[in-house]
Amino acid sequence: MHLSSSFGCPPPERLQRLLKDVEDGNARILLLPCCYDGLTARLVSLGGFNATFMTGFGVSGVNGYPDTQLISFDEMVKAATTVAEGLASAALEKAKYGEGDSSKEAVAIPCIADGDTGYGNAVNCKRTVFGYARAGMAGIMIEDQVAPKRCGHVAGKSVVPFDDAVKRVKAACDARDEYEALFGKGTGPLILARTDSLVTDGFEDAIQRCIAFRNAGCDMTFLEAPQSIEQMKEYCKRVSGPKLANMLEYGNTPILPPAELEKMGYTMAAYPLTLL
């Protein structure tokens, strides 16, 4: 139902429609098995999922590095391009053999890509959004860690000050709008704003950052590494708009069934390690 309503529209608009369906109660929580190359992108699409997430953890891992931002902006854009090609080839395959939607039109599922810290200052962040958009990504995640960042579930993280974090997200939102002004309605990648400040500055600071990110114009929020079900519920209660749960095996966040996450108020659930 969701993909058939998305024919003829760009990836960000397709993602927006999926999120709206969940927010309006017309669809279940959006499950995002994470991919990191063309093969894993094809596996997610051929597995029947409606969307995916390009994980920086995975892209780093398949290149032989830990998730400590040793992979450059250019390498991440190339990975995003490969993911987009994999999703397109899977869509063509499903259409050719009559799988998926009965109209047999080829529609690639949308992908949100990990943009880390934006790879520099606000101007770099805007360039990152444009690069990912040209690669075919439907959304981009921008976070508030100090560069070089690291996996959100390990020790030693640090975040930029509150105001700097909001400026970074605002720059990404401005780039989204500028891209859409240049290339048409629905082409600007949706902005997923992430905070890692729970561990460094406390739960209340993380909540206030998410609220400020929404006020700055982001489309979705992601409070990384909540440590209890109570924190997850409070986040969903106090922050508006689509929200992402990170179901990381061996991480700090409780692993919960999709139905329970949906009941809390989460819109999406990502699974970054499963295909690794």
pLDDT tens series, the chain, 276 aa = 333 334 468 999 999 999 999 999 999 999 999 999 999 999 999 999 999 999 998 898 888 887 777 789 999 999 999 999 999 999 999 888 876 554 556 789 999 999 999 998 899 999 999 999 999 999 999 999 987 665 655 556 789 999 999 999 999 999 999 999 999 999 999 999 999 999 999 999 999 999 999 999 999 999 999 999 999 999 999 999 999 999 988 888 999 999 999 999 999 999 998 877
Q: Is-contact 223 207, C-beta < 8 A?
A: yes
Please give the Cα distance from 20 to 49 (Å, whole number): 17
- In a 13 Å sphere around the CA of 115, the CA atoms on its Cβ side amount to 36
- Cα–Cα distance between 116 and 194 in angstroms, integer? 9
Longest dimension (CA), the chain: 52
pTM summary value: 0.92
**222-233-275 Cα angle (round to 5):** 50
Which residue do the tokens 């439907």 mark? 138
CA distance 72 to 76: 6
Radius of gyration of the chain (CA): 17
Tokens at 95, concatenated:
């259409």
Half-sphere exposure at residue 56, Cβ-oriented, CA atoms within 13 angstroms: 27
171 with 216: CB under 8 angstroms? no
